[in-house]
Chain A
Amino acid sequence: MTIAEQTAPTAAAGKSSGGGGLGRYILVRFLLIIPTVFILVTLVFFLMRVVGDPISASVGGRLTPDQLAARLAEAGYDRPVMVQYFEYIGQIFTGDFGRTLTDNREISEILVTYGTGTLELVFFSLVVALAVGIPLGRFAAYRRDQIPDAALRIFAILCYATPVFFAALLLKLVFSVWLGWFPLGGRASTQTQLVLDRISGSTGINIIDALRTGRWDLISDVLSHAVLPAVALGLLTAGVFLRLVRTNLIGTLSMDYVDAARSRGVREGRLLRKHAYKPALIPIITVMGMQIALMLGGAILTETAFGWRGLGFQLAQYLGARDFVAVQGIVALLAVIVALTNFAVDVIAALIDPRVRY
């Protein structure tokens, strides 16, 4: 039997089972979103009831015990926890996330109003992470085991080891307070926000709305407010990307096909840029899903540190007020976002690398 005859049946077998394998893989990944979100919502539901209720938190110190009990009964907080739980789950399945307890706002409205803020922050942070992590990782691989490589590895460790709130405070201190280069916090200045809020069809994403106005003063104001928060949150992930790109690039540089190219006389620089670089980026895609989840978690601290009014900031506010309906709703949404993001990443990874499906 020739090599072609030996390989042909294998290829045919692979071709006939690949479509079904991918389809089943995608279906399983999608269905896993449901129990993931369900478990998280359940955990949050019970944990929030352990820490107290919003009525006691706000007026507990000025009502008689009977008055407080009456208010709790009126709000239904004195019912058995399981009764409240099944009622809440039932509402979730009908798409009713309820209203916040402390400021009586629809959860869906909260999610839309503040979700755009978090989306904007995560986008800017991802840009920083990719813009910093990938080129530096590539450079570190190119200068493997030299001083620049060592310095960059230390830099990477510092990036993902430094608590994001500490990085945020440090950046504010240096660049806002001492140097005065950037604003202290917020998504935009008061006047800019007033203008953007009045745009017809405002998206809630300040940079998009500013670009739509075509006004450079608004665009630069929005960007200036975004720099420090994006750097604080983005560097967290940039360190991971830097190490990943470096490691993968060094790995692909030692592959046989690269040796073959080198033996054909391809220069080292071209090897790095053309032959080894792109395959080294593939793991970035798979890691990105997890990093986005970490970014959403880090966004809570970043938004709080910079007064960036997104979902993370609101979540912290509602936690302090023991508004468990609001916390449940926001956490549920964040869980869905993370689950969907990871699903998308898994699908892309499976499309790029068929080995992932099996």
Chain B
Amino acid sequence: MATTGQRRRAFSAVGLTATLALVLASCAETENIDGGGSDGEDGGGSISVGTTDVVTSLDPAGSYDNGSFSVQNQVYPFLMNTPYGSPDVEPDIAESAEFTEPTEYTVTLKEGLTFANGNELTSSDVKFTFDRQLEIADPNGPSSLLYNLESVEAPDDLTVVFTLASEDDQTFPQILSSPVGPIVDEDVFSPTELTSSEDIVEGNAFAGQYAITDYTENELIRYQAFEDYNGLLEAPETDVVTAQYFTEETQLKLAVQEGDIDLAYRNLSPTDLGDLREDENVTVHDGPGGEIRYITFDFNSQPFGADTEDADEEQALAVRQAAANLLDREALSEEIYQGTYTPLYSYVPEGLTGAVEPLLEMYGDGEGGPDAEAAAAALEEAGVETPVELNLQYSPDHYGNSSDEEYAMIESQLEADGLFDVNLQSTLWDTYNAERVEGVYPAYQLGWFPDYSDADNYLSPFFQEDNFLANGYSNTEVQETILEQTSTADEAERTALIEEAQEMVAEDLSTLPYLQGAQVAVSANDITGVTLDASFKFRYASLTR
């Protein structure tokens, strides 16, 4: 008969064996896991996308970030939207959209529109959508984009009339395609407060190219093609797309490299992208991005600025011109960002209607490179003694990990020929943002991501009266030109005004743009339809295998 000790040893052995079996089994590859949607299986008609985006809300009234808008673009209908390959908007679920009066923008919906839950999509839902945006006015939401909207009326089931404060606002159609534009189901969303993502998914309140069948916030989203989508864009090429959210860029990179996902989009580091470009198993896709990086000059505190002891407008301009002549954008693009940011010689980035490159022509060697002689000449002509002492500030925590290297390189470029003596300093964002508007920084780093794909979004917020820069720059002629283009209906005329505004600002150099962020996606070699255009919307519906 076994003793107590022998029984204990036997149990211990069994326990150890079981544990060992579990650990060994955990090393085995898992197979035959069906994670399919309501149809049970995804089979081969599905694509998996990976991203490091962060989604804050599915409710359009409660979010104003890239991660959330990226999801909303796939599942909500818009009155106006950009077709593939174009930055210019056209009616999406609208049959027509036009100014019927100078301050009235009338949209006629297509007939027979529905949400994925079967509810009809009528003008009532449209009115509800914009009324609730203004009613809720969430601090994290995009309601500020409706600054020009006075009221919304729905005289019949298909007609929506927007009454605007200012006449012929040419940016309003673009705003309808922006984060404030997704149309929501009035039977699912609350009119007075934000609706939870769970309620939205459960209510199946979608009418875009896809509906969401499974949703775990910031972990995974399963999209299923919405068969009754009746918008500008075509029906999805792939029925099911699964979006997986990664916490680290490295994990995203390895996942696409190992084939765990079919496509990776935002964000991959320059180093990882450089490695992926060498990998024959994946394809790297590039396209123009909307983000821009620029140096802002504070007209009051910069060298020879209005509040300095030796204030002199001409000399202050000469200092800005010299900096513009010395900047080597190609070097920044290649050495720091390995092409994930491209040289920018304009205030309106490449790809948008009206974008020109006045900085390329007016400064540097005329081909995009620096010109130290031109910089020295500008300073000498204005009687500025060199080296010019310049305090240059940047934020190490707000614009990515490469800001340190980026501004170290800018410092060396400005000092290369002895024309500047740069005092480079960094400040964490919260303090940085408060101090920059107080004129503490003579020259400093900023970045910008557009609200919508229109040139005005790169002009009005920067150079109009009471702009967010608050850098002391004011040019009435520039302001009038920018204001005029916002209400010019004729496309050619408006484009000419936009170009003129850019050239005027390039002469004044309130800011010095130097880099434009590129959109980059990495896919398996058998994935096609990756569209990275100047709409800056990455839509899954065009993806196919």
Contact = CB atoms under 8 A, between A and B. Distances in A.
Interface string B236-271: 000000101011100100110000000000000000
A281 to B, nearest CB: 15
A304 B48 CA distance: 23
B468 A63 contact: yes
A58 B430 CA distance: 10
Contacts of A75: 139
Contact of B247 (A53, A64, A217, A304): A304
A71 B27 CA distance: 52
Given A190-B244, A218-B33, A224-B26, A61 B446 contact: yes
A177 B217 CA distance: 27
Interface string A52-69: 110111111111111100
Nearest to A313: B247
A124 to B, nearest CB: 11
A105 B434 CA distance: 28
Interface residues of A, number: 56
Nearest to B55: A103
Interface stretch (A28-36, A191-199, A255-263, A336-344): A191-199
Contact of B447 (A61, A176, A197): A61
Most buried by B among A57, A58, A60, A182: A60
B463 interface: no
Range class of the B interface residue count: 35 or more
Given A62-B448, A223-B23, A56 B437 contact: no
Contact of A194 (B28, B62, B140, B220): B220
B394 interface: no
Interface in B77-113: none
Contact of B27 (A131, A181, A197): A181
A41 to B, nearest CB: 22
A58 B22 contact: no
Contacts of A52: 429-431
Interface string A165-182: 000000000001100011
A17 B317 CA distance: 88
Interface in B210-242: 214, 216-220, 222, 242
B216 A193 contact: yes
A64 B32 contact: no
A101 B255 CA distance: 31
A52 B33 CA distance: 45
Given A61-B447, A74-B139, A220 B242 contact: no
A336 B499 CA distance: 61
Interface string B133-159: 000011110001000000000000000
B65 interface: yes
B220 A104 contact: no
Given A103-B57, A217-B33, A59 B64 contact: yes
Given A52-B430, A220-B26, A223-B23, A191 B246 contact: no
Nearest to B64: A59
A65 B430 contact: no
A191 B37 CA distance: 10
Contacts of B214: 194, 197-198
B211 to A, nearest CB: 16
B25 A220 contact: yes
Interface in B32-65: 32-35, 48, 54-57, 59, 62-65
Given A192-B33, A195-B35, A223 B22 contact: yes
A87 B331 CA distance: 53
A60 B220 CA distance: 30
Interface string B508-535: 0000000000000000000000000000
Contacts of A107: none
Contact of A217 (B30, B56, B144, B437): B30
B31 interface: yes
B7 interface: no
14 contacts: A53-B430, A56-B433, A62-B468, A63-B468, A64-B466, A74-B137, A103-B140, A104-B194, A177-B254, A189-B30, A217-B31, A221-B33, A223-B22, A307-B248
Interface of A: 51-53, 55-67, 71, 74-75, 101-105, 131, 176-177, 181-182, 184-185, 189-195, 197-198, 216-221, 223-224, 226-227, 304, 307, 309, 313, 317, 322
Given A191-B33, A216-B25, A309-B219, 15 more contacts: A53-B430, A56-B429, A57-B430, A58-B64, A61-B398, A61-B447, A67-B468, A104-B194, A190-B220, A192-B30, A192-B35, A218-B33, A219-B25, A223-B23, A304-B247
The 3 A-B pairs with the shortest beta carbon distances in the complex, nearest first, are A52-B430, A191-B35, A223-B26
